Amino acid sequence: MADGFGGCRSIHLSYGRGQSYLLQCGALLLVFPALSLHPQRRRCYGNYRNPALSEATPQTKTLRKTPLNAAHRALKAKMVDFGGWDMPVEYGGLICEHMAVRTGVGVFDVSHMGCIQFRGPGSLAAVNRLCMNDAARLAVGQAQYSAMLYPNGTFVDDVVVHKLSENDYLLVINAGTREKDVQWVRQAVGAMPGVHINDYSDYYTQIAIQGPKAAAVVQKLTPVDLGAIKNYWFTWGELCGLRNVLIARTGYTGEDGFEVYVPSDVETSERVWGEVLAAGAEFGAVPCGLGARNTLRLESAMALYGHEISESINVLEANLGRYAKLEKSDFIGKDALLAVQVAGGPKRRLVGLEVVERGIARDGYPVSAADGRVVGAVTSGSPAPFLKKNIALAFVPMEMVELGTELAVEIRGQKVKAVVVTTPFYKRQR
């Protein structure tokens, strides 16, 4: 890669029987479940830093592992502590993985995410009490972005709600907040009539296949007509010889893609992981880590818990008010959001920034107005590998949210010019 984003390394994937296949900058020729990965030549991203993975720390404690942990280590992935989980941050390099998703296809292990199921005649009422979006608008087989809020309108977590049947809903929740989320759900709506709530987080291995070639890859593994599944819809079908697999057209990269849910035993999980990568070989599929997942979601201006959303940030500040259906019956946090509106709206709002002078805006860096006053802070910042720009998300006062507003990010003691720009920074062609 050029423009200061580093080169790529080449790696060999060797598979038993003396077979060896070259992976170079996102071009994977073949992969199998039981393989080893040997680094060659140069590193993929030089001194590039994996941004916004604030939960990622050196491993100093016993960590939870997904069923694919051994597969990641066989691929020589760089592993980190992410919210108490032993997870891959990168394999062949963050830039290569990011670009593979933007131009071809990448495969992610997201089995650390949680799954909470609501069943029974009272399930819709419970979900709608708990979440800010309106699940009554969902058809069977449809999903929606939503969030669980505290009474003051700030975030417990953002979620994706799936309507499995008329009385059956699945909430997919974030990894770092799994235990907190489950406790909140039981506390907030567990006593409502006609609903049974179960935490099935450890029952599934969740694999995300993302990129413009994702549909072509998954179609090789299933007889299901994927063309009939619209964005944020899902179905049940056969995948890799497994029956009744949930196949959802969802993701966290800003690209087309699918998230599939298979049984969480290691043997099945590794087999499906390997078959997905093998099916994607002709399209340049690569395994991808959390580093690329973060830069992809940032280019697409998707919120990350603890950064753009948290228990101290309300929905309107986070610029996610379009998902809060204030016209529906009471949900937790509604009154607080209405009160903010009555008071004239939020005092600050999340905006996108493009750094137009030399420098990289990092999480937590101060944001200043033209007169030098500190007016906000960066929530997520990074070079954007596909866009070849330095971008950031930041909270600033409402009088500074207009497009084109000139601000400055303090980078190592220097004020570096930045401009408010449209988000998402990247929007895929449809």
Q: In DSSP terms, which residues pair with 381 in a beta bridge? A: 392
Give the mean model confidence (pLDDT) for residues 311-336.
97
Structure confidence at residue 29 (pLDDT): 30
Structure confidence at residue 47 (pLDDT): 36
Amino acid, single-letter form, for residue 66? T
Structure confidence at residue 429 (pLDDT): 85
Structure confidence at residue 301 (pLDDT): 98
Q: Kindly report the pTM of this predicted structure.
A: 0.88
- Which tokens go with 316? 């309107």
Model confidence over 94-117: pLDDT tens digits?
999 999 999 999 999 999 999 999
State which fold the 347-430 domain adopts.
Elongation Factor Tu (Ef-tu); domain 3 (2.40.30)
Q: What residues does each domain of the chain span?
A: 1-346, 347-430
* CATH dotted code for 1-346: 3.30.1360.120
Torsion of Cα atoms, 305 then 270 then 107 then 284, to 10°: 170
pLDDT above 80 for 40: no
Model confidence over 161-202: pLDDT tens digits?
999 999 999 999 998 899 999 999 999 999 999 999 999 999
pLDDT above 90 for 61: no
**To which residue do tokens 């670009």 refer?**
99
Angle of CA points 231, 275, 215, to nearest 5°: 20
Angstrom distance (rounded) from CA 34 to CA 402: 52
